[in-house]
Amino acid sequence: MKVLGINAIYHDPAAALVVDGKVVAAAEEERFSRRKHGKRPLPWSAWELPELSAAWCLAEAGIRPEELDAVAYSFDPALMTTPEDTGLNDLGDTMRKKYAEMAPDFLAHALPGLDPATVRFVKHHVAHAASAGLAAPQRDNAVLVLDGRGEAHSHLAGRYTDGQLEILAGQALPHSLGLMYEELTDHLGFLRSSDEFKVMAMASYGKPRFTGALSELVRATDDGGFRTEKIDFTEFAPRLGKGDQWTEAHADLAASVQTRLEEVLVDLARWVHAQTGEKTLTLAGGTALNCVANTRILAESPFEQVWVQPAAGDAGTALGAALHVARELGEDTQPMPGAALGRGWTDDEIEQVLQTAAIDYERPDDVAEAVAEVLADNGIVAWFQGRSEYGPRALGHRSLLAHPGHEANLERMNDVKGREQFRPVAPMVLLERAPEIFSRGPIPSPYMLFVHDVAEEWRDRIPTVTHVDGTARIQTIDPEASPLVHRMISAFERRTGIPVVVNTSLNTAGRPMVDDPRDALECFGSAPVDLLAIGSFVVRRPTPTSRTRN
Ligand SMILES: [Fe+2]
């Protein structure tokens, strides 16, 4: 059975392909179109499809559109109520519903040969749930989905038993923890449904002194759901415009909403544990990208394990919808093999691109050693290896790397990326060394979806990746799953004594992550990066950036 998954309705359009129950490809449209998040989540853009990523998924597997058994579209317009009934009064919903209803015809146009009758609508939160519960390695699990909104809900609680979903609770709109967080993002001068992670970063600078005032407005209910009443954020801190300087009150507001969110999520996790008694909780929905909250759920709920879909936002619903429909068609689906589900290139293909660009390059004996040498010398490295990541995090395939031992490297990395200086950068660490340096969050932590405490004696040794509150959002590197990255960090450790490197996504300000070799060369050419390690090749900048800065 061949099932193509499509996410298109709100944000992060993406496609995924499941063949005979196995995930063979998944990618976000932004990596192809080079437009961050693919599109803005506006009603009149709801028709836009992930055409390029869908076509690539099929080409990757050598499948023609007419050979597909089903297309799974991660939104069901039949479940949409009226703008008045949702309580959101979003008049754009009428347009979204119409466009979703027409999606089969749009898809048949985008993928010539496709039979529109093969398109099946999957409830948005069921698609999210499947992206967690069917993709996780633990076959039986409890599942929690929390996002801004789906058709008429913002939450799902359930359990997977032998691949079958039982829905236990669902919170109807207008109550939505995701929309509440988006409102705050907007209030703080950031871009809603895009920059929520900046609010999480800002929260660590503040004190949660307004949490008491929020506790009645945002609270869990006995039936597994919750209430989010309208909050007038101006009562706590004035509204900010884009780029305005924030104050202590803004950081305190961010900290208070973040803390209240965490408390409610822990309550929801406790409820679903009480209903299911499962050992593992799986999470999806945009709220599951909140790694501070994820760590708190693990620490304070009774679950032994928490597994989070790396593409927890709407992009992941393409994968979830495909897995769900594959199950409906009788397939025994397999857990996802990892996040490296996007495009990849052979060395021959990469060398061709380098030759076309007429750029000097070398083929070192071991690219891992060549990179470690530059990093140890405090250079910045663009790392392009293997298939690209599905989801918003760089996980060792399209990364910018640096030495974690120099405090100034935080500013340097944020300069490369044109980011706010309060934003942290994250460490990659050898799995076997992680317990000595990081605690509280889970180890292994392969997808950077939890925060950990940095051991006191290590904070001065890795200041670049130690956030203001003494935490770090780590990725552990397993030698079997990621042998090349593991070898590179080991080589860095031999030179410096530090089994950690700085890892942030390979992109410059406002652009999607680099995906193909030409993107990599363009990024390398325009950003102060010392070395591009691409496949087995390296491209060097003649003058080290550390020298040009001083
Ligand atoms: Fe969603």
Ligand 1 center to residue 312 CA distance, Å?
A: 8
CA of 155 to the centre of ligand 1 (A): 9
Pairing of strands 426-430, 475-477: parallel
Query: Per the omega criterion (within 30 degrees of 0), is the bond before 335 cis?
Result: no
Taken in order 90, 92, 94, 100, is the CA torsion positive or negative?
A: negative
3-class DSSP state of 99? helix
> Distance, CA 75 to ligand 1 centroid (Å)?
9
Q: How far is the CA of 151 from the centre of ligand 1 (A)?
A: 9
Q: Output the furthest CA–CA distance in the chain (Å, rounded).
A: 65
Distance 93 CA to ligand 1 centre (A): 15
Residue type, 516: D
Distance CA 184, CA 237 (A): 11
Helix, strand or coil, per DSSP, at residue 512: coil
Cβ proximity of 129 and 159 under 8 Å: no
Q: Which residue has the tokens 């008045």?
A: 84
Whole-number pLDDT of residue 546: 64
CA of 399 from ligand 1 middle (Å) equals: 26
- What is the chain's pLDDT, residue by residue, as a tens digit (550 residues)? 999 999 999 999 999 999 999 999 999 999 999 999 998 888 888 889 999 999 999 999 999 999 999 999 999 999 999 999 999 988 899 999 999 999 999 999 999 999 999 999 999 999 999 999 999 999 999 999 999 999 999 999 999 999 999 999 999 999 999 999 999 999 999 998 888 989 988 999 999 999 999 999 999 999 999 999 999 999 999 999 998 999 999 999 999 999 999 999 999 999 999 999 999 999 999 999 999 999 999 999 999 999 999 999 999 999 999 999 999 999 999 999 999 999 999 999 999 999 999 999 999 999 999 999 999 999 999 999 999 999 999 999 999 999 999 989 988 888 888 777 777 889 999 999 999 999 999 999 999 999 999 999 999 999 999 988 899 999 999 999 999 999 999 999 999 999 999 999 999 888 999 999 999 999 999 888 999 999 999 999 987 776 555 4
3 forms beta bridges with 18, 70
10 CA → ligand 1 middle, Å: 8
Rounded distance from Cα 388 to ligand 1 centre (Å)? 22
**358 phi and psi angles, rounded to 5 deg:** 50, 50
Adjacent-strand bridge partners of 401: 381, 503
Cα separation of 531 and 42, whole Å?
39
Residue list, CB under 5 A from ion ligand 1: 147, 314
Structure tokens at 489: 């960090």
Contact 286, 196 (CB under 8 A): yes
What values do phi and psi take at 253, rounded to 5? -65, -45
Beta strands in 192-340 (DSSP E): 218-220, 226-228, 280-284, 305-308
pLDDT of residue 509: 81
Q: Where are the alpha helices (DSSP H) in 277-403?
A: 291-300, 316-328, 347-356, 367-376
pLDDT, residue 548, reads 52
**Residue 3: its H or E element:** strand 2-7
- 3-state SS assignment for residue 483: helix
* CA–centroid distance, residue 146 to ligand 1 (Å): 8
What is the CA(178)–ligand 1 centre distance, in A?
9
Distances (CA, A) of 17 to 70, 336, 398: 10, 11, 21
Beta-ladder partners of 439: 453
Distance 274 CA to ligand 1 centre (A): 25
Ligand 1 midpoint to CA 199 (Å): 19
What are residue 128's phi and psi, to 5 degrees?
Answer: -60, -45
What does the pLDDT read at residue 278? 98
Please tell me the distance between residue 478's alpha carbon and the centre of ligand 1 in angstroms: 30
| CA 473 to centroid of ligand 1, rounded, Å | 23
Residue 83: phi and psi, rounded to 5, are -55, -35
The pLDDT, as a whole number, for residue 550 is 41
Quote the ligand 1 centre to 65 CA distance (angstroms). Answer: 26
**In which element (H, E) is residue 52 found?**
helix 51-61
Q: How far is the CA of 148 from the centre of ligand 1 (A)?
A: 6
Write the single-letter amino acid at 373. E
**Dihedral sign of CA atoms 273, 276, 279, 285 in order:** negative
5 CA → ligand 1 middle, Å: 14
In this predicted structure, what is the pLDDT of residue 547?
53
CA–centroid distance, 9 to ligand 1, in Å, is 9
Give the Å distance between the CA of 314 and the centre of ligand 1: 5
**Among candidates 334, 308, 296, 81, which has minimal Cα distance to 203?**
296
Taking the centre of ligand 1 as the mean of its atom positions, its distance from the CA of residue 259, in whole angstroms, is 22
How far does the centroid of ligand 1 lie from the alpha carbon of residue 86, in Å? 16
Cα distances from 267 to residues 145, 257, 302, in angstroms, run: 14, 15, 11
Inter-residue contact 165 to 144 (CB < 8 Å): no
39 Cα: distance to centroid of ligand 1 (angstroms): 15
pTM confidence score: 0.96
**Ligand 1: centre distance to CA 162 (Å):** 24
| Separation of alpha carbons 49 and 29, rounded Å | 9
Apex CA 325: angle with CA 118 and CA 83, to 5°?
Answer: 80
- Residues 434 and 52: their CA atoms lie apart, in Å, by 39
Measure the CA–CA gap between 233 and 237, rounded to whole angstroms: 6
Q: For the CA atoms of 88, 92, 95, 96, what is the dihedral angle to 10 degrees?
A: -60
- Residue 1 is encoded by which pair of tokens? 């059975």
